[in-house]
Amino acid sequence: MNVTKCDIIFQCCKLVLESAGQLDMMEFSIVLCTWRNQRRTNKDSEMLTNIKRLNQLIEINRDLSSTLNHDKLLDLILTRITQSIDAEASSIILMDDDDRLTFISAIGEMHEEIKKMSLRRGEGIAGWVIENGKPVLVEKAEEDSRFHEDISKELSFPTRSMICVPLKLDNRTVGAIEVINSRSKSFFDQEDMDFLTEFSHQVAIALRNAKIFGKINNEVDELKSIFDLKHEIIGSSKALNQILRLVQKVAPKDIIVLITGKSGTGKEMIARAIHESSPRRHNVFVSVNCAAIPEELLESELFGHERGAFTGAVTSRKGKFEQANGGTLFLDEIGDMSLRAQAKVLRVIQDQIVQHVGGNREIKVNTRIVAATNKDLIFEIREGNFREDLYYRLNEITVELPPLEERREDIGPLAEHFIKIFDKSMNKNISGISRKALQRLYSHSWPGNVRELKNIIKRAMVFADGEMIDEDDLSPEVTGITHEESDEPVIEFFDAEGVPVSLSQIEKDHIERALIYTGWNKKRACEILEINRPRLDRKLKTYNINRE
């Protein structure tokens, strides 16, 4: 005779109660029925939860199949994870060639800051998971000895509970998925971890497919790059066409390029064009202005630092060379870099190795360098301000940008281009520039080059009332109106006796002009001057510029 577990329990309870002389069969039947119904309800609830999770996995699989774009796929994965498990934040961590754990994508509060961080192999809960290839459910993070609390402290983002599961391809752990803090309950449970583990299998396959597709697509994009380059850079002058032909030749070659030219000639645009036309185009382009970063911070910014390297360094952080690994690093204004930093940059170029500030470990990098300067580096070498050996390493190929006055035929197309840009952002209805106004632009000397033209068009757009920018809308230095005829301040290049004034005086006058133009709105003044706020504040202090 087959009996169920319920029958066995019923018979046992009956014997116990009969022996005690306390059996009330009706009462007992009610209790037993209630217990059976509760059990059935729990099973039904569990079944509904499983069905819901299964449907989510099916939907996720459909979504992951909808794109082969690597970045979009990462965002989609983390969005789905966060929604399905109802977490506050999530991230994907992969191990790079140097055994560093890199947060390649993150979602939630402070996600951009998280992506700048990295861990050593085996460090933190994610490091343990990748090292051991096993998932981990942590109910109370602060009580787990593997928890790396310094990241939470630096981000001011408390971690209460978390799940971390390995990402595996061909039985090899290549990374991990991490979710932090449940929104709907005190901590995550086993059901959440089981779901995330199943999800991780699909993620690993999707990432591999996206990587393969990207590799194939790379060859197609390379054929389009030359055509696209011509449409990104505005102008058709002989001087510009020579530059573009040179860019097309050097971009595919993995060599260092030094871009020279006066301020405002578009050195960063050419650097980006080199990157976008190179095999590295699908990797990151990182730009750093060496003149804008204080000397005491430049090394940490370029080469990264270890935890405890200096006050405030509560976790290790990648430098620009590591961030640009696989891509291109643009070192703008390299002529302003200190000799100490130059020596370290030279070592990276020679050995393709960086060393964090406060660390001894050598980290391999594969970064293409494009540098730029508005200085005469040969003169700086003679003055003892620039290393000769670094100059010759940077000078594999030099691209010298002509000033705008040497490519005047590009002024019209550039002006029309800037009008289209500002017309959209200012919500105006200006279709072009009058012939008289354009003639004024052609006649101007353009000491500030393309950047000056851009600012003059922007100013003219503010004052223009009709459908065209007219001569009267242009600034005084372009129209030729004298200081006495205009209320606007102009920069004086000569003193009362006709002697040229110093560069510092010209810089001071230009800063004052930008501040007056913006009504002392420092943020807007920084945008016009193309400098950061700390640098502007230092200049104001140096030149004793105060608002009256």
The 10s digit of each residue's pLDDT in 400-421 is 999 998 998 899 999 999 999 8
Q: Are 180 and 89 within one domain?
A: yes
What does the pLDDT read at residue 49?
57
Q: Which of 17, 49, 64 is the last residue of a domain?
A: 64
E strands of 49-117, at which residues? Answer: 87-95, 101-107
Higher pLDDT: 51 or 524? It is 524
Residue 387 shares a structural domain with residue 448:
no
Domains: count for the chain: 4
Element (H, E) at 354: strand 353-355
Least confident range from 56-60, 438-442, 468-472: namely 56-60
Q: Is the pLDDT of residue 8 over 60?
A: no
* Pair (242, 195) in one structural domain: no
Confirm if 547 and 525 have CB atoms less than 8 A apart. no
| pLDDT value, residue 180 | 93
Q: Is 168 helix (H, G, I), strand (E, B) or coil?
A: strand
| pLDDT computed for residue 60 by the predictor | 62
Regarding whether 270 and 193 lie in a shared domain, the answer is no
Together in a domain, 49 and 145: no
Q: Tell which wins on pLDDT, 92 or 210.
A: 92
Other beta carbons within 10 angstroms of residue 469's beta carbon come to 24
Range 480-490 average pLDDT:
47
* Structure tokens belonging to residue 359: 């660390």
Where does a domain end: 40, 64, 88?
Answer: 64
E strands in 31-74: none
Q: How confident is the model at residue 449 (pLDDT cuts 50, 70, 90)?
A: very high
224, part of any domain: no
Quick check: is 76 in a domain? yes
Give the domain extent around 240: 233-400
Average pLDDT of span 141-149: 87
Give the pLDDT of residue 18. Answer: 46
Given a contact cutoff of 8 angstroms between Cβ atoms, the answer to whether 338 and 290 are in contact is: no
418 occurs within a structural domain: no
380-397 pLDDT tens trace: 999 999 999 999 999 999
Please give the mean pLDDT across all residues of the chain: 81
pLDDT given for residue 15 in this prediction: 45
Model's pTM, two decimal places? Answer: 0.52
Phi, psi dihedral angles at 468 (to 5 degrees): -130, 150
Backbone angles phi, psi at 327, to 5 degrees: -120, -140
- The pLDDT score that the predictor gives to residue 367 is 95
Q: For residues 99 and 136, state if they share a domain.
A: yes
Cβ pair 286, 323 in contact under 8 A: yes
- Smallest Cα–Cα separation from 268: which of 277, 259, 281? 259
pLDDT for position 37? 53
Residue 17 has pLDDT above 90, yes or no: no
Q: Which two tokens stand for residue 350?
A: 């020679």
Q: Over range 371-387, report the average pLDDT.
A: 95
Most confident of 3-17, 175-189, 325-339, 425-439: 325-339
Residues 250 and 313 in one domain: yes
- Report the CATH number at residue 187: 3.30.450.40
DSSP secondary structure, 463-516, as one string:
H--SSEE-GGGS-HHHHT--TTT-SS----SB-TTSPBPPHHHHHHHHHHHHHH
The CATH number covering residue 284 comes to 3.40.50.300
Q: Is the pLDDT of residue 61 over 80?
A: no
> Does residue 423 belong to any structural domain of this protein?
no
Asked whether residue 420 is assigned to any structural domain, the reply reads no
Residue 547 lies in a domain: no
Q: Report pLDDT digits (tens) over 197-223.
A: 888 887 888 777 777 666 656 555 554
Percentage of the residues of the chain whose pLDDT score is greater than 70: 79
In a domain, 107, yes or no: yes
Quickly state the pLDDT bin for 58 (edges 50, 70, 90): low
100/210 same-domain check: yes
Q: Residue 16 above 70 pLDDT?
A: no
Q: Is the pLDDT assigned to residue 132 strictly greater than 90?
A: yes
Distance CA 188, CA 88 (A): 12
pLDDT at 201: 82
- 246 and 382: one domain? yes
**13 Cβ contact partners less than 8 Å away, ≥ 6 residues apart:** 28, 32
CA dist., res. 232 & res. 277, Å (int): 11
For 317-353, the pLDDT digits (tens) are 899 999 999 999 999 999 999 999 999 999 999 999 9
Between 64 and 118, whose confidence is greater? 118
CATH value at residue 501 = 1.10.8.60
Is 532 within the bounds of a domain? yes
Same domain, 433 and 520: yes
pLDDT value at position 332? 95
Domain final position from 214, 245, 269: 214
Categorize the per-residue pLDDT at 134 as very low, low, confident or very high, splitting at 50, 70 and 90: very high
13 and 157 share a domain? no
* Residue found by looking up tokens 């197309």 in the block: 413
Triad 186, 187, 188: Cα angle to 5°: 140
Question: 193-197, 254-258, 518-522: which has the highest mean pLDDT?
Answer: 254-258
Q: In this structure, are 31 and 104 located in the same domain?
A: no
Whether residue 210 contacts residue 69, with contact meaning beta carbons closer than 8 Å, is answered with: yes
